[in-house]
C-alpha cells in the first residue's frame, strides 16, 4: 500500500467530517431552541471548595491525577468499544452535539467572553478530534471486516490493522490521555477563572478540595 493510500485510511473521510459538522450544528440549534444539554462545569456552573492550606501531594496525586486517570479510562473505553462494535455510538456522537450546543450557550450567556471560554477548553477540542478519528477507525474496521467476510480471507482485516488502525489507535489514545489531563489541570481552572473571578493557576490546583457541579 502506498503512503498516500495509508493516509487515506487515517485522515477522516469527507463524509465523516460532514456528518460531524451536521451534529455540531444540531447541537447549536438545540441550545438555541431552548433544549440545552448537560454542560457540567463548562458553563461555569460549579462550586469549588478550597483548602485553607495547600496539600500538594494530596491534590496532585491522590485527587487530581486520579480524577484525570479515570476520565481517560472512561473515555478510551467508550471509543474502543465503539470502534470495534459500534455499541457506544451515542456518547461518541454526542460529543459533536455537545460542542456545538456549548458554543451557543456560552455566546448567549457570556458574549465575547464566551468565545474566550470556549477557545480555552482545550480538552474539549482534543476530545472532538479524538472522536473524529474514532469514527474513521470504526469505518476502516467495519469495511475491512466486511471485506474479510466477502472474500473469506483475513487479508483485508490484517491490512487494516497493520496499515491504518496501528496508527489511528495510538493517536486516539494519546489525544484522550492529553485531553483528560487538560480537563483536570487546565480547563476547570480556565472556566472558573473566567466565570467566577481571577484566581491563579497555582493557587487553584494546590488548594482545591472539591468541585461540585
Q: Name the helix (H) or strand (E) containing 209.
A: strand 208-212
Name residue 211's beta-bridge partners.
Answer: 48
Instruction: Give just the sign of the alpha carbon dihedral 8, 125, 71, 105.
Output: negative
Q: How many domains does the chain have?
A: 1
Cα-trace Rg, the chain: 20
Share the mean pLDDT of the chain: 89
Residue 11 is assigned to a structural domain of this protein: no
Work out the number of other CB atoms within 10 angstroms of the CB of residue 75.
26
Q: What is the pLDDT of residue 2?
A: 42
Q: Give the mean pLDDT of 106-135.
A: 97
Residue 5 is assigned to a structural domain of this protein: no
Lowest mean pLDDT, pick from 22-31, 41-50, 71-80:
41-50
Lowest mean pLDDT, pick from 17-26, 36-45, 128-137, 146-155:
146-155
Nearest 5°: CA angle at 12, between 102 and 155? Answer: 140
Q: Per-residue pLDDT for 206 more than 60?
A: yes
Query: pTM higher than 0.85 for the full model?
Result: yes
Residue 10 is assigned to a structural domain of this protein: no
Residue 37 is assigned to a structural domain of this protein: yes
Region of 154 please: left (phi>0), alpha (psi -120 to 50) or beta. alpha
Domain span holding position 58: 16-212
Residue 199 is assigned to a structural domain of this protein: yes
Residue 2 is assigned to a structural domain of this protein: no
Q: What is the pLDDT of residue 7?
A: 65
Amino acid at each position: 500500500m502506498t503512503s498516500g493510500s495509508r493516509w487515506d485510511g487515517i485522515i477522516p473521510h469527507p463524509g465523516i467530517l460532514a456528518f460531524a459538522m451536521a451534529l455540531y450544528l444540531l447541537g447549536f440549534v438545540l441550545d438555541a431552541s431552548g433544549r440545552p444539554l448537560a454542560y457540567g462545569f463548562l458553563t461555569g456552573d460549579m462550586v469549588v471548595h478550597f483548602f485553607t492550606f495547600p496539600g500538594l501531594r494530596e491534590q496532585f496525586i491522590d485527587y487530581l491525577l486520579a480524577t484525570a486517570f479515570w476520565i481517560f479510562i472512561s473515555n478510551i473505553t467508550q471509543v474502543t468499544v465503539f470502534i470495534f462494535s459500534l455499541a457506544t455510538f451515542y456518547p461518541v456522537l454526542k460529543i459533536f452535539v455537545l460542542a456545538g450546543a456549548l458554543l451557543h450557550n456560552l455566546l448567549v450567556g457570556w458574549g465575547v467572553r464566551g468565545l474566550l471560554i470556549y477557545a480555552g477548553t482545550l480538552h474539549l477540542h482534543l476530545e472532538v478530534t479524538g472522536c473524529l478519528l474514532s469514527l474513521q477507525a470504526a469505518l476502516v474496521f467495519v469495511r475491512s471486516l466486511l471485506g474479510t467476510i466477502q472474500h473469506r480471507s483475513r487479508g483485508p482485516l490484517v491490512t487494516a490493522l497493520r496499515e491504518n488502525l496501528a496508527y489511528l489507535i495510538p493517536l486516539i489514545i494519546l489525544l484522550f490521555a492529553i485531553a483528560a489531563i487538560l480537563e483536570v489541570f487546565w480547563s476547570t481552572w480556565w472556566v472558573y477563572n473566567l466565570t467566577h473571578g481571577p484566581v491563579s493557576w497555582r493557587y487553584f490546583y494546590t488548594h482545591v478540595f472539591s468541585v461540585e457541579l
